[in-house]
Amino acid sequence: MPFAAPRRRRCAVVGLGARAQLFTEALAGPYADRIELAGFCDVNAHRMAVHNGWIASAHPGRPPIPTYSADDFEEMLRRERVDLVVVCTVDHLHDHYIVRALEAGCDVVTEKPMTTTAERARRILDAQRRTGREVRVAFNYRYNPVHSAVRELLADGEIGEVGSVHFEWLLDLRHGADYFRRWHRDKANSGGLMVHKATHHFDLVNWWLGAQPETVYAQGGLFFYGDEAGDRRGLARDYTRAHGSTAADGDPFAIRLADSSVLSALYLDAEAEDGYHRDQNVFGPGVSIEDDMAVLVRYSSGATLTYHLTAYAPWEGYRIAFNGSEGRVELLVEESTWTRPDVRTDGASAVLHGAAVGDEAGRTQLLVRRSWEEPREVKVPTGEGGHGGGDVRMLADLFGERAPGDADSLGRAADAGDGARSLATGLAANRSFVTGLPVDARRLMDSKGDS
């Protein structure tokens, strides 16, 4: 008698917005033979229907994925016999779904940031320990080949012991501005860019150094966006959201949802259900996050980090330098060299990013400068797909089959502990913004007070 085929794991996705498309496409397509897409859950039925429509066009004849309202999350887990939950909701709700999924006996893949406060991170860590289930944090930047190459260089001791890291990340006027048009502009939703965005960067530094943040001092503020700065520099226009507003005509900071079939489908046509406007005025009131942040960190290894995040730069990308006892590693990634004022939003993706094509496209350079030696450039093949090829590699690691002997030698798979350690730096920075004092990041996750 032939052996029965192994049962496919059954996976539900909660939060069917823009980012979820990466997962729904992968699970309905290349990973469908290993994992069965078994349920969708969201407060917005329209967005779930859009995802089902995309799946139907890509896989004609495939039955639609059963959809559930947010109130019926547990019911979905039971009825659809779910083993694995992918969490793609707005950031401050991640813990709500992660903890309930773990308690129902499921494993979890969560989008970054793992959550937005220390209290919520503790709930996740407690639930993970209590249930023994697995939590993977989707830190796709670890899988970008150039970031993996940096990890290899440092682990191989190319520059000896790392004494310090200098790290500057620039978000351009298109991508940076996007955080001020959406739910991210409210710190209660996203934890601000120190949590929402820099969680990637602080995770990379933890991973590259194999160390944990201990002391964090930071200064940050709203320098460019928001009503006060917009009025002061004459950049503000008189509208609340761009759609249907003549005051937004010609505003390079306005996003036109109706110009994009994807943005229209996901947001404009879904507004009737939840009143969410994805095209708010970046110079309007109600922005409670920072756009310019400077952070100084000391790590358990003794190394220090100087970090800067700017959300209103003319180009998009980052520069990193590692100063070691035997030399220096320098990485430059120019995702775009400049930002067009008249960019249209009619691409196939709902994600705005520094352009990687056309006359805005930049370059990547990884240099090893060993002491007493000429600089050597390390050529790394550019990855295909989102986030420098990180997305496709991460999906393969999350959902694919690891060949025997193909260990994760670079330790790219991130768990709840990694999610919490990356949050520790951002949350400590947020606290330091307010108090003006250094913060002990080690005690942040232990303390009872929320942050």
Ligand X SMILES: NC(=O)c1ccc[n+]([C@@H]2O[C@H](COP(=O)([O-])OP(=O)(O)OC[C@H]3O[C@@H](n4cnc5c(N)ncnc54)[C@H](O)[C@@H]3O)[C@@H](O)[C@H]2O)c1
By CB under 6 A, residue 138 contacts ligand X: yes
CB of 171 to ligand X, least distance (A): 13
Interface segment toward ligand X; rule CB under 6 A; list 85-93, 364-372, 404-412, 435-443: 85-93
CB of 232 to ligand X, least distance (A): 30
By CB under 6 A, residue 89 contacts ligand X: yes
CA angle 123–209–204, rounded 5-degree value: 60
Count the Cβ atoms, other than its own, within 10 Å of residue 29: 12
Contacting residues for 263 by C-beta, under 8 A, at least 6 apart: 255, 257, 278, 345, 350
Q: What is the dihedral of CA 64, 69, 75, 80, to 10 degrees?
A: 10
CB of 52 to ligand X, least distance (A): 13
Q: Which is nearer to ligand X, 90 or 420 (CB)?
A: 90
By CB under 6 A, residue 70 contacts ligand X: yes
Q: Which is nearer to ligand X, 303 or 395 (CB)?
A: 395
Binding mask 356-395 for ligand X (x = CB under 6 A): -------------------------------x--------
Question: Which residue from 87, 106, 68 is spatially nearest to 14, judged by alpha carbons?
Answer: 87
By CB under 6 A, residue 135 contacts ligand X: no
Residue 236 in contact with residue 247, Cβ under 8 Å?
no
The DSSP 8-state label assigned to residue 323 in this structure reads E
Q: Give bridge partners of residue 151 from the DSSP assignment.
A: none
By CB under 6 A, residue 43 contacts ligand X: yes
By CB under 6 A, residue 111 contacts ligand X: yes
Amino acid at 114: M
262 SS3 class: helix
Binding positions for ligand X, 12-31, rule CB under 6 A: 14-20
Q: Tokens in use for 156?
A: 């191989």
Residue nearest to ligand X according to CB distances in the complex: 17
By CB under 6 A, residue 142 contacts ligand X: no
By CB under 6 A, residue 112 contacts ligand X: yes
Q: Could you give the CA distance from residue 359 to residue 11 in angstroms, rounded to a whole number?
A: 41
CB of 329 to ligand X, least distance (A): 24
By CB under 6 A, residue 47 contacts ligand X: yes
CB of 393 to ligand X, least distance (A): 13
Q: Could you give the CA distance from residue 267 to residue 434 in angstroms, rounded to a whole number?
A: 34
Among 36, 42, 80, 158, contact with ligand X (rule: CB under 6 A): 42
By CB under 6 A, residue 193 contacts ligand X: no
Burial class of residue 56 in the structure, from the number of CB atoms within 10 Å of its CB (0-12 exposed, 13-18 middle, 19+ buried):
middle
CB of 93 to ligand X, least distance (A): 5
Q: Which is nearer to ligand X, 166 or 353 (CB)?
A: 353
By CB under 6 A, residue 140 contacts ligand X: yes
Distances (CA, A) of 188 to 193, 195, 429: 12, 11, 16
CA angle 66–68–71, rounded 5-degree value: 165
By CB under 6 A, residue 83 contacts ligand X: no
Containing H/E element for 428?
helix 416-435
- 405 Rama class: left (phi>0) / alpha (psi -120 to 50) / beta: left
Among 35, 76, 86, 88, contact with ligand X (rule: CB under 6 A): 88
Q: Max alpha carbon distance in the chain (Å)? A: 78
Count the Cβ atoms, other than its own, within 10 Å of residue 143: 25
CB of 196 to ligand X, least distance (A): 6
Burial class of residue 307 in the structure, from the number of CB atoms within 10 Å of its CB (0-12 exposed, 13-18 middle, 19+ buried):
buried
Q: Tokens in use for 403?
A: 């060949």
CB of 216 to ligand X, least distance (A): 21
By CB under 6 A, residue 147 contacts ligand X: no
CB of 176 to ligand X, least distance (A): 14
Q: Which is nearer to ligand X, 112 or 328 (CB)?
A: 112
Report how many residues bind ligand X under the rule CB under 6 A: 24
Q: Which is nearer to ligand X, 93 or 305 (CB)?
A: 93
Which residues of the shown chain bind ligand X in the complex (CB under 6 A)? Answer: 14-20, 41-44, 47, 70, 88-91, 93, 111-112, 138, 140, 196, 387
